[in-house]
A and B are shown apart, each in its own frame.
Chain A
Amino acid sequence: MKINDIPVIDTDVLVIGGGTAGPMAAVTAKEQDPSLRVILLEKANVKRSGAISMGMDGLNNAVVPGHATPEQYVKEITIANDGVVHQPALMAYATRSFPMIEKLDSWGVHFQKDETGDYDMKKVHHLGTYVLPMPEGHNVKKILYRRLRRNRVEIENRFTATRLLKDPDGNIAGMIGVNTRTAEPIIIRAKAVIMATGAAGRIGLPTSGYLFGTYENPANNGDGHAMAYHAGADLANLECFQVNPLLKDYNGPACAYVTGPLGGFTANAFGERFIECDYWSGQMMLEFFKELESGTGPVFLKLDHLAEETIQEIETVLHTNERPTRGRFHDGRDVNYRERMVEMHISEIGFCSGHSASGVWTDETGATTVPGLYCAGDMASVAHNYMLGAFVYGQICGESAVEFAKSRSEPKLDEDFIIKELKRIQAPMNRADGIPPEQMEYKVRRLVNDYLQPPKVTKKMEIGLERILAVREDVPLLCARDPHELLRAMEVQSIIDCAEMAARASLYRTESRWGLYHYRVDYPDQDDSEWFYHSRLFMNEKGEMDHGKRPIADYLVPLGDEKDAYQKMRVQKAANA
C-alpha cells in the first residue's frame, strides 16, 4: 500500500521511543512471540537515547523482599502523592519490581550488594527503604541494546513520530512521522502501539537561560503527550508538575539518593538541615521553595562535613554516571565539595510521572483510553515510577500489546488524515522566511516560566494561557531551513500543546495539592470534598481541550495512621532549642 507515493510499513507492534521503557517493551513483545514483527522507532539513536543515555546511579523505588513489601511501597507512594494515585497500577509495579531487578541482574546490570551478596538497600524515603545504588550503572543502555539485537527487534533510528493513526472504530492503527536528517515521511500501520517518549521536559526555561540545559534530556519535549492528546487519549493530573531540586545553573540532580545515605543533606545558608527527608515529593519541594525565598536561603547541598573517603566515593558516582559533566561544571567555578556547600535551585516545570504523577492516563495493564495504545515510562501516569517503573511498565505494555495485536486483523487507515498530516509536516520547509523554531520555542517557554511556574496564581495563569494561544496563532509562520530545523519545528508544536495543557490543567483544579507542584496561592488549601479525583484532560467532540474528573479506584492498601506523614516535612525545633 502507498499513500502519496509513500510506502506503508506494516508491523504487529510498534514501539515509539527507544530510551528505557521502549526497549524493554520491544524485547518483551518479541519474547512473548518471536514470530511477531516489532519495530522500535527512535528520534535519536537507541544506543544512547533517552533519560539514561549515560546510565543511572541507582534505583529509587526498588521493592526488595526482606526490606519492604509491595503493600508498604503502595502506601508510601499514595501518601507522598496526597492520595491521588491509581493504586492498582502502583501495586502492579510493586509486585513486579523485584522480578525485574533479578531479570536486569541476569542481563548483566550491576546493583550494589553487601558482603553477604544481598542487595545493599538504603533508606531515603520518609517511611520505608527503597533505594538500591548501582555505582556501575553506566552500561545500562549497552545491555539493553544487546537484548534488542538478540531478540531481532527492528530499529528505526532518527525518525520522529508526529501523529498517531486510528481506524474508523477508534482503535489505534499506527503512526506517521518524519526522518530528522532527510525530512522523508514515514507511515507505519500497526496493530498495537506502545508509546515511551519520556517526560515533557522542554516546556519551561532553565534558570541558565540555555534552551537545552533542561533537567530532562531535551529530546523528551512532550511529543508523546501531544500525540496522545490529538489521538483522543485522556491525560491525567497534568497540573501535578514536576519541579526538582537541582544544582544552581547545572541540570544535575542534587542527588539525595546518592549523598543522603552517605551523610550529605540539603541545608540552608547556615548549613542547617530544614527538611526531615530529602526524598523528592511535592511537600519536600514546597519547604525547599520556602527556604529558598526566605532570609535563611538560598539552599545548598552540604557535603563539606564528610570524610575524605566518603567525598571521593560521592565524586566517583556523581561524576561518572547519569550527568557526568557535573565535575567539569564544578571545576569551572572552582567548587570543591570538601571546602564549601554547593548552591542549589529548583528546576523548570515539566510533566514527568517518574518523579510526580502526571501523564497519559495508564491503567495497571499499561492501557490508555485509546484501544490498542499503551504507554510506559515517564509519559505514563503511574506515580513515582522512575527507571525501574519504566522497565516494569515497558514489560507490562509489551505483554498487553502482543495480546491486543494478536486479536485483530490489519487496521484500516484514514488516508485523508494522513494527507493532511503530511502537509503539516512539510509546511515549515516550504516557507522561505518566517519564524525560526528556536525563536518560537524560546518565546513559549519563557511564557511558561513567567506565568505557570508555581506558586500558581489564577489571573497570571489566565494571562499566560492567552499569550500561549497567541504563539499558537504564529505556527503557520514556522520556517525550517533544513531537516534538523524541521525536527525542531515539529517539536515546538508539541511544546505549545504541552504549555497549553499545563495552563488549562492548572486552572481546572481549584485547590492546592502535591506541595509545590500544584500550589495555588488563591486556593491555598487541599479540598478533598471537591478534588479527591484524578483530573482528566482530553479533546472533546468539538476538538476543544476539555476537562473532567476520574474517580479514584478503591484503595488496595489502607493508609492508616501514617496518612499525613508527608505533611510534616519541616524539621521541628525543640521548644528549648
Chain B
Amino acid sequence: MPIANHHSSVPVIVDEDKCIADKGCTVCIDVCPLDVLWINEETGKAHMKYDECWYCMPCEADCPTDAVTVNIPYLLR
C-alpha cells in the first residue's frame, strides 16, 4: 500500500535567531515528553518535526534563550 505525505500546521514555533541548538543546546528536545522536537538538519536549529503535541510547555519554559513558543494546535483553537 503506497503512502502519501500530508501537511499540517504545527503548534510549536522556534525563533531561529534566538535558538542556540547549533551551539549544542538540546534543552527543548530533551524535555519534550512526546519527543517531537528535533534538530533541523538544514539549519542546525530546533524545530517541531511531528505534529504530536500536548502543548504542555516544558520546551518553552525551560528554553534558556526564550526561543520557543507553544501555540494551541489549530484543531482546538
Contacts and interface: CB of A to CB of B under 8 A. Distances in A.
Interface in B2-45: 2-3, 30-35
A219 B33 contact: yes
A433 B4 CA distance: 10
Contacts of B34: 44, 212, 218-219
Contacts of A435: 1
A433 B62 contact: no
A319 to B, nearest CB: 11
Contacts of A158: 35
A54 B32 CA distance: 11
A513 to B, nearest CB: 31
Given A218-B34, A328-B71, A436 B56 contact: no
Given A44-B35, A47-B31, A212-B34, A54 B61 contact: yes
A489 to B, nearest CB: 13
Contact of A210 (B33, B56, B75): B75
Interface of B is mostly: loop
B53 interface: yes
Nearest to A44: B33
B57 A484 contact: no
A71 interface: no
A433 B2 contact: yes
B76 A53 contact: no
Contacts of A484: 35, 49-50
B56 A53 contact: yes
A325 interface: yes
A54 B58 contact: yes
B72 to A, nearest CB: 5
A54 B17 CA distance: 26
A45 B31 contact: yes
Given A44-B34, A325-B55, A210 B1 contact: no
A212 B53 contact: yes
A325 B2 contact: no
Interface of A: 44-45, 47-50, 53-54, 158, 180-181, 208-214, 217-219, 249-250, 323-325, 328-329, 332-333, 433-436, 477, 479, 484, 487-488
The 8 closest A-B pairs by CB, nearest first: A48-B31, A48-B58, A44-B33, A210-B75, A325-B55, A208-B76, A212-B52, A219-B33
